[in-house]
Amino acid sequence: AMPWRTPPQARRAGAQPDPYHVWLSEVMLQQTQVATVRSYFLDFIGKWPDVEALALAPDEAVMQAWAGLGYYSRARNLKRCAEAIWFEHGGRFPRTSEQLQELPGIGAYTGAAIAAIAFDEQVAVVDGNVERVITRLNEIDVPLAKAKPRIRELVAGMTPETRPGDFAQAMMDLGATICTPRKPACALCPLRPSCGAARAGSQEAFPVKTAKAAKPVRKGAAFVARDAEGRVLLRRRAPSGLLGGMSEVPTTGWTARIDGATGAAAAPFAGQWASKGAIRHTFTHFHLDLEVWLHEGAAPTPQGGRWIALDDLGNEALPTVMKKAIQSAIPQAFALPARKQPAKKEPDQP
């Protein structure tokens, strides 16, 4: 069972889905598999059991808990959204899809999902799984990008007045488990008698997608420095943009559009930098090839830098690309369990 779902027996007894759980799970599930999200979801609600706790949490703690889920703008918007709900809406989620979409990070799909599942609004909930079901059911043979308005219209016509949230979740589950991208289990599908693609044997031709352009390859360098005590030099990325607010080892100015400098001459300070090979990391829109350089021994502290013990790296909001760079230079870097930090007492809120 998915931990964010309200069990059927509880629903029959009158329990309503928690909008905080619905919202949190829907944001986490964007571009991420259910199997991965489960542990992150449980960790989040263990740390921050309600929207108030998340709104008052330190930004760094939220980013650290998100590390590994990717698409880090989701985490920044998650925190901003929690703050908006707590400080501007009295801790209560708006109840309609339209109102929900006024909150940071909540778009048409997420707003509809929360409104339907948590508040029983009769609204079309359309994710990638539902798009696949509908295009096959109706043999929609135009590219998916152009077909979206028609798909939403068809889903709206199918959505019942009663239990629209259960219908939405059933459609998403149907796409995720039966009407899969390859080798769909049509024999088990309750919609098979009405499915045009199943009758024609053309299931895998839908949805129609335009060919993807090849991802560009960007280049740069990452500099892993260890001081005389064996600590690693980290710094904080700018709060906005790619990997905004996350921790990183010093790196050059690569972006999705331009290459960064390479070679030891681009290091944050002069010294004996040894090459530790290179890593590749794939982002949504580009590949990144990073040279990895290692400096060991006495070193200055560049502006904005801080030295972190190896067994404290697990407590940092390090994106996967930075973990790869550190691991390439220091193979044992993540062999030690993260050292637990003492709880911080938060100041009273006005």
Question: Would you call 7 helix, strand, or coil by DSSP?
Answer: coil
CB neighbours of residue 316 within 10 Å: 22
Query: Cα–Cα distances in Å, from 43 out to 24, 80, 147, 154, 346?
Result: 12, 19, 38, 37, 20
Residue among 26, 121, 291, 316 flagged as catalytic: 26
SS3 content of the chain, % helix, strand, coil (to 5): 40, 10, 45
Query: Cα–Cα distances in Å, from 336 out to 10, 95, 248, 310, 324?
Result: 42, 45, 19, 8, 16
User: Please, are residues 93 and 20 in contact by the beta-carbon 8 Å criterion?
Assistant: yes
Residue 165 makes CB contacts below 8 A (sequence gap 6+) with 17, 116, 117, 118, 120
- Determine whether 83 is an active site residue: no
Residue 217's DSSP bridge partners are: 287
Instruction: Provide the residue type at 255 as one letter.
Output: T
Instruction: Provide the residue type at 25 as one letter.
Output: S
Residue 119 makes CB contacts below 8 A (sequence gap 6+) with 19, 95, 96
For the annotated catalytic residues, the residue numbers are 26
